Structure 1
Amino acid sequence: MTARTIKAKHSAHRDDISDLITRRPVPNRGLDQVDPFLFLNHHGPQLYKAGNNGLPFGPHPHRGFETVTFILEGSLAHMDTGGHESVIHAGGVQWMTAGSGLIHAELSPPEFKRDGGDMEILQLWVNLPPELKMTTPRYTGLQSPDIPSIEADGGAKLHLVSGAFDGKSGPVVSLTGVMMSMVDLPPGGKITLPAPKGRNVFFYVVRGAVSLGDTRAEKFELVEFSDDGDAIEVSAPDGGYLLYGHADPIGAPVVAHGPFVMNTEAEIRQAIVDYQAGKFNREPVNT
């Protein structure tokens, strides 16, 4: 296996939403996307006091892509107009295909607002190719025990959400063959991550710091790789936690307007018309 070289590192910029600590590594200055990975918000980590208002993500629409939400600390209640509803706790993941259009809400459960506690959440937007933009919406909610935890030879653990690693498959079958995982490296841990030729890699340091050969990547940094190898070798002298995945690039035009991601301005206008006409309202969202 040949290790890929680093093309660039990108620090997440701070962009708080009300009292919610938020950092965004992509899009960022100098990096529009890591095709097909469009957007990542890193909320927290922070401590909510008892009697808090919880997360501010009330009902809002999406069309043309997928949201993948990682609950690292705390819990998250999901409801959408496709009739999907769940409360996912720490270590779990929500994978929602907005496709032709959904309205969803992502809120703190009543117990969290009452009691407070630690909260840290990642939300990644994954683009869909033109032929799947209007696919039927779907949703998968996974609790921590639903996600395989695979121990590597170097002591790291890879929590496999979708795709394959070390002969095992993740519980989500991605429409576009996305491999997505979380990687936990203890102090002194190391791992060799697959990075198949021709695929783009998503690599974000959530906690701690890691070493990639002679280069160190710190917490809140996204690492961009050249397509010149088929593996990424990672070590963490003091421990680290990563969001890691890879996928085939789509290579299609991206036209985004708020919660809609399509390929043309005309498709964006149609999404707005359809939303205003109530075509996303398959079933009511309860808040």
Structure 2
Amino acid sequence: MKEIKSVYRAVPAHMGDLTTFRAMPTQKIQHLDPFLFLNHHGPQTYKPHNNGLPFGPHPHRGFETLTFIFDGDIVHWDSSGFKSVIHEGGVQWMTAGSGLIHSEQSSKEFTEKGGPLEIIQLWMNLPSSLKMTPPDYKGFEKDKLIHIERDDYTIHLISGTVEGITGPMDSPTNLTMMTVDIHEGGDFEIAIPEGHETLFYVVRGEVVVNGDGARKLDLVTFDRNDGIIRVHAEEESKLIIGHGLPLNEPIVAYGPFVMNSEQEIQQAFKDYEAGKLGTWS
């Protein structure tokens, strides 16, 4: 079994009336190369006639975002012309690359009627060779993901290959990404290849992973040796699991941009101000 290095608790990072916990970066963990940032919004219930998500138009360059919609919905709209609405159980995968402006807000239906909301956004770094790749976006409703159902668990596969089955998203950095639902008392295991960094986050429930306990809002880190992660669910649980090779490149992040040098960050701001990341009307 893979060795657990640490278990980190997500910290409060609330945004107005949006309940938010940040798993990374925090004072205790900066990133897990190539995974940069994880915000957990909700769970909470919005009343009718609400303002919905607060993520209006803002720029990005140099990385990717993967957004998990566990409850509620998100309307994605960006300056490259991509637009979609994704509902409960779906995901949005955006490659910012050379840069764009986008917004992530609740649908008109949600703001009028309200309802439960739980959303997680993960940032994944791009290597220097891909930081200026053209922007791209893929939205997958729940029925467009691959669902691997077993007696104890269900894997909702987004990218990579698990149990001989390949997910619908072709990750430009060959990341394997999934969510896993495990029934109370159920067991799940996954093999992680040599050299890969692992992302393991407990969205809901309580589990025993490789002999150690972890519960909702815990980020578990492992060594990079090849080995098995074994999970036993003490109660109904939901996990985000991902893995991939670290980039081993300098990470310089400032606000909405993640590059390899301060000079590249400065250029990103200049390009944004000059309208080179697109315009918003």
Fold similarity call, TM over 0.5 = yes
Deviations 1:76-101 (A, max 9, x none): 10000110000000000000000000
Aligned 8 A contact 2:4 2:210 in 1: no
Alignment of 1:112 onto 2:116: no
Aligned 8 A contact 1:5 1:229 in 2: no
Aligned 8 A contact 2:60 2:256 in 1: yes
Alignment of 1:255 onto 2:259: no
- Structure 1: gaps of 5 or more residues: none
Pick the aligned partner of 2:27 from 19, 26, 29: 29
Alignment of 1:74 onto 2:38: no
Pick the aligned partner of 2:86 from 85, 88, 93: 88
Return the alpha-carbon distance in structure 2 between the equivalents of residues 256 and 213 of structure 1: 33
Give 3-state SS (helix, strand or coil) of 1:17's partner. coil
Amino acid aligned to 1:149? H
Pick the aligned partner of 2:182 from 161, 185, 197: 185
Deviation at 1:237, TM superposition (A): 2.4
* Structure 1 equivalent of residue 196 of structure 2: 199
More deviation in 236-245 or 140-149? Answer: 236-245
Amino acid aligned to 1:281? G
* Structure 2 equivalent of residue 272 of structure 1: 269
- Structure 2: gaps of 5 or more residues: none
Aligned 8 A contact 1:37 1:202 in 2: yes
Deviations 1:77-132 (A, max 9, x none): 00001100000000000000000001000000001000000000000000000110
More deviation in 29-38 or 261-270? Answer: 29-38
* Structure 1 equivalent of residue 2 of structure 2: 4
Deviation at 1:231, TM superposition (A): 1.6
Return the alpha-carbon distance in structure 1 between the equivalents of residues 36 and 160 of structure 2: 19
Aligned 8 A contact 1:42 1:122 in 2: yes
User: What is the RMSD computed on CA atoms of the aligned residues?
Assistant: 1.0
Deviation at 1:193, TM superposition (A): 1.3
Please list, as runs of the form range in 1=range in 2, the aligned pairs for 1:192-231 lying within 5 A after superposition: 192-231=189-228
Please list, as runs of the form range in 1=range in 2, the aligned pairs for 1:55-74 lying within 5 A after superposition: 55-74=53-72
Q: How many residues align?
A: 281
* Structure 2 equivalent of residue 130 of structure 1: 128
Length-normalised TM-score, structure 2: 0.98
- Structure 1 residue ranges, 4+ long, deviating more than 4 angstroms after superposition: none
Deviation at 1:229, TM superposition (A): 3.5
Return the alpha-carbon distance in structure 1 between the equivalents of residues 179 and 135 of structure 2: 25
Q: Percent of aligned positions with the same letter in both sequences?
A: 50
Give 3-state SS (helix, strand or coil) of 2:199's partner. strand
Amino acid aligned to 1:279? K
Amino acid aligned to 1:262? M
Return the alpha-carbon distance in structure 1 between the equivalents of residues 160 and 226 of structure 2: 19
Return the alpha-carbon distance in structure 1 between the equivalents of residues 22 and 248 of structure 2: 23
Amino acid aligned to 1:213? N
Return the alpha-carbon distance in structure 2 between the equivalents of residues 246 and 228 of structure 1: 12
Aligned 8 A contact 1:148 1:170 in 2: yes
Give 3-state SS (helix, strand or coil) of 1:234's partner. strand
Give 3-state SS (helix, strand or coil) of 2:205's partner. strand
